[in-house]
Structures are given as C-alpha cells and as structure tokens.
C-alpha cells in the first residue's frame, strides 16, 4: 500500500509539472524605459483586421514577464510599451518567448523561443534588408531622373527587377520550409497583397499548408480573399465599370476597349505610380497606332480633384482616358478588381478578357508588343 502511495505521489508531481509547462511565457529585457511603465500585449483580430488587447504587464528593473494561457493555435501578436511609438511583433506559441529590446530601436528587437518565432525572425530580417536596398535604389533612380541619365535608369530598373525576383524566390523557399507554421499564411498574405504572385498561384500554395494552420483565423480570411479574387484573375472577363472623367462625363469600360486595353490603377499621391508613369507613356506612344488603349483609374482622395488633374498634366498622361470617383481606397472600381496596392495594371484583350496583370517597365512593354503582333 505504501509503494502505491509513493507511485501515485510521483505521478502527481509529473502531472503538475506538465501543467506548469502549458501555455506560453513572455520574458524580456528592455533598456531605456523606466520602471512602472506598462507593457500592452495584443493579438491579431481577424474580424477587424487589427490588433486586439489581451493582457498587460509592468516593467520592473528593466525587465518584464507574463505567464499566458495555453494557445490552441499560433497567432500573430504584438508588444506595445507605454510612452513609445511602434511595437514588437512575435507569434504566440506554447514556448518561453524571450525579448531583448531597446526603446530607440523597437524594430531591431531580438525575439527567440520556439520554431514559429525563429521562422518569423528570418522573414523579418529579410524584409529589413530588402527595404534598405529598395530605399537606396529609389533615391538613386530619382537622382538619375533629375539628371536625365537614361542609361543609368535602365540599369537601375534591371537591378530593381532582379531584387524583386530574389525576393520572390526567397519567400517561396521560406514557405516550402514552413508549411506547418503560422508564417506560411503570413507569407501568402504578403505575396498576394504586394502582388509578388498572382492569386491563382497563391491559391495553389495555400492548398499545401497544413490543416492545422488552415484553422487559424488569418488563414480562413485568406481563403475567402482568394475565392473573391477569382473575379479579377487572368482568364476572367474584366469586371465592367462606369465612372466620371475629369470633364464629368461617364466613361464605360466596354465602350472603350481597344485591340489591347490597359486598365491602370494609380493616384497622384502614389510615388511608385509616378515613377512608373514614364514607362506607361513610352509603351503607349510605341503601340497606340497598333490598337493600344489605356484607361487610368485614379484612387485620389475626396476633394483632391485638382491634384489628380495636375498629376495627369505633369506626367504627360493626357493622351488617354482617365476616370476617378475620388474615393481613395473605397473606390468601387478598385473593390471590383480587388485592389490592395497600387500601381496595379490589368491587360485586356479586345473582348475584355484579362490576359495579364501587374506588369511594369519593360515587362509591360514587351507583353503589349507580343499581344499586338
């Protein structure tokens, strides 16, 4: 009887120990923030597509900690600090998650603990380096435009295209290593929104992620977005629209189709759009006599018609048709075409069927030439 009691006591200790390991635990060092300041913990809310507060803790002796409940599924999470702008991103998982943070460089925070956060850190480091290179390149391209150095501009565009290709390859390779990680959904969301890949290819990759990850709210939202995106995919009939021109007249897509038509989404406030406009002008001048038509759809803000018109004039876009509802991201045409970022281009054949989308620079010019041959 005594042996049974000892055995039962030992088993109880094991079970208690296991229960203590359930959930996840946050532990961090933060420099430059005085004691007593709050740390706000929040999670991604799929219903509102925003961060939802879930808990708080307090900084003491330059440290903070918080024991959290067990999570059934990983979720994108954030730490925000009282009196500071910005946040630190991590993924909640049933591990001890450690943070090393400096108040003046939240984006450089080090996060460790668990395979989910290891994968996330690899991705964030890639994005930081990519943004650094792209930012430097945009500065050099602006200078080359001011200097009217066409040779350098051409070279820079080729380098920019190479960077995009490398980014795409990296994301695909990272996805293939993390099909059972929350990061897989984040990657697909980013590639869809940034138009790194088309929705049909993202849909094929979505089918490869694990059933466990498909149960996360972010994955469910992505599945809905991919289903909705079919309306504006290559091979589909382009959604019809009618919208006001700068003169106040109504222009309908189906009444203004050329042999090939580019529907171009842009805005006066969009710097990448303005950088791309010279390529659009060059392509139009090269192929307008062969049947190319362009309809530019502006997503400029309410009350900013003059800014829209001035941008048309400054960028020498007066040669083709323009429309705008001046409703910013609430533009009904943009919603029909599932626009989440600009510039965005849709190439239509003479029947209004989408044959290509989101091409820029020489890729756009070459595609138009191919279609008009």
95 & 134 share domain: no
* Residue 121 shares a structural domain with residue 106: no
Interatomic CA distance for residues 157 and 361, integer angstroms: 8
Q: Residue 38 belongs to a domain with what CATH number?
A: 2.60.40.10
Domain extent for 128: 116-232
Q: Could you tell me the pTM of the whole model? A: 0.68
Regions of the chain with pLDDT less than 70 = 1-22
Domain-embedded: residue 146: yes
pLDDT at 174: 98
Same domain, 246 and 363: yes
Q: Give dist(CA 201, CA 188) in Å, integer.
A: 10
Task: Let me know whether 74 and 142 are in one domain.
Answer: no
Sign of the torsion formed by the C-alpha atoms of 123, 129, 132 and 138: negative
pLDDT score at 372: 93
pLDDT of res. 22: 61
The confidence score (pLDDT) of residue 6 equals 43
Both 253 and 367 in a single domain? yes
The pLDDT tens digits for 33-43 are: 999 999 999 99
Per-residue model confidence as pLDDT tens digits over 157-206: 888 889 989 999 999 999 999 999 999 999 999 998 887 888 889 999 99
Regarding whether 160 and 57 lie in a shared domain, the answer is: no
Q: Can you give the pLDDT at residue 231?
A: 80
pLDDT for 188 equals 97
User: Is 9 within the bounds of a domain?
Assistant: no
Check residue 144 and give its pLDDT.
87
Would you say 185 and 155 are in contact if contact means Cβ atoms under 8 Å apart?
no
Single out the residue in 111, 143, 166 at which a domain terminates: 111
Q: Provide φ and ψ at 360, rounded to 5°.
A: -135, 165
- Give me 95's structure tokens: 């591990």
- Looking at the 3D structure of the chain, how many domains does it have? 3
CB-based contact 293:262 (threshold 8 Å): yes
Task: Let me know whether 342 and 254 are in one domain.
Answer: yes
Residue 309 within a domain: yes
**How many CB atoms sit inside 10 A of residue 264's CB?**
24
Instruction: Tell me how far apart the alpha carbons of residues 319 and 258 are, in angstroms, rounded to a whole number.
Output: 14
In a domain, 297, yes or no: yes
Question: Of 83, 111, 139, which one is at a domain's C-terminal end?
Answer: 111
Those residues whose C-beta lies under 8 Å from the C-beta of residue 372, and which sit 6 or more positions away, are: 259, 260, 287, 290, 291, 292
Does residue 265 sit in the same domain as residue 354?
yes
pLDDT given at position 19: 43
Within this chain, do residues 255 and 366 fall inside the same structural domain, yes or no? yes
Q: Is residue 7 part of a domain?
A: no
Q: Is residue 10 part of a domain?
A: no
Structural domain contains residue 55: yes
Residue 313: which CATH number?
3.40.30.10
User: What tokens does 269 get?
Assistant: 């406030």
The encoded tokens of residue 284 equal 């139009």
Say yes or no: 194 and 266 in one domain.
Answer: no
Q: Select from 288, 314, 290, 309 the least CA-distant residue to 373.
A: 290
Structure token pair of residue 35 = 């004691």
Query: Of 68, 96, 111, at which residue does a domain stop?
Result: 111
Question: 171: which 2 tokens?
Answer: 């994301």
């Amino acid at each position: 009887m005594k042996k049974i009691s000892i055995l039962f006591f030992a088993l109880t200790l094991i079970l208690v120990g296991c229960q203590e390991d359930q959930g996840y635990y946050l532990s961090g060092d933060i420099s430059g923030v005085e004691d007593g300041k709050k740390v706000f913990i929040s999670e991604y809310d799929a219903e509102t597509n925003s961060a939802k507060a879930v808990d708080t803790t307090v900084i003491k002796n330059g440290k903070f900690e918080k024991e959290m409940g067990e999570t059934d599924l990983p979720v994108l999470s954030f730490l925000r600090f009282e009196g500071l702008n910005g946040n630190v991103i991590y993924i909640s998982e049933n591990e001890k998650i450690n943070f090393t943070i400096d108040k003046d460089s939240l984006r450089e925070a080090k996060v460790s603990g668990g395979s989910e956060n290891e994968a996330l850190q690899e991705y964030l480091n890639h994005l930081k380096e990519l943004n650094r290179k792209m930012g430097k390149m945009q500065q050099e391209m602006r200078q080359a435009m001011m200097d009217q150095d066409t040779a350098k501009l051409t070279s820079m565009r080729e380098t920019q295209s190479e960077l995009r290709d490398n980014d795409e390859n990296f994301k695909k390779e990272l996805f293939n290593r993390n099909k059972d990680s929350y990061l897989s959904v984040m990657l697909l969301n980013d590639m869809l929104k940034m138009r790194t890949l088309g929705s049909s290819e993202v849909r094929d990759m979505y089918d490869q992620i694990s059933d466990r990850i498909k149960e996360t709210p972010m994955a469910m939202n992505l599945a809905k977005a991919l289903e909705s995106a079919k309306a504006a995919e290559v091979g589909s009939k382009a959604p019809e629209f009618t919208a006001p021109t700068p003169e106040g007249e109504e222009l309908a897509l189906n009444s203004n189709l050329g042999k090939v038509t580019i529907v171009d989404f842009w805005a006066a406030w969009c710097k990448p759009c303005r950088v791309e406009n010279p390529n659009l002008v060059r392509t139009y001048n090269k192929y307008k006599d062969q049947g190319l038509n362009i309809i530019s759809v502006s997503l400029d803000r309410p009350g900013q018609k003059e800014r829209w018109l001035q941008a048309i004039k400054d960028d020498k876009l007066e040669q083709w048709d323009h429309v705008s509802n001046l409703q910013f991201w609430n533009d009904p045409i943009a919603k029909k075409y599932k626009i989440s970022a600009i510039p965005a281009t849709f190439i239509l054949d003479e029947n209004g069927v989408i044959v290509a989308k989101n091409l820029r620079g020489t890729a756009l010019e070459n595609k138009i030439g191919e279609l008009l041959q």
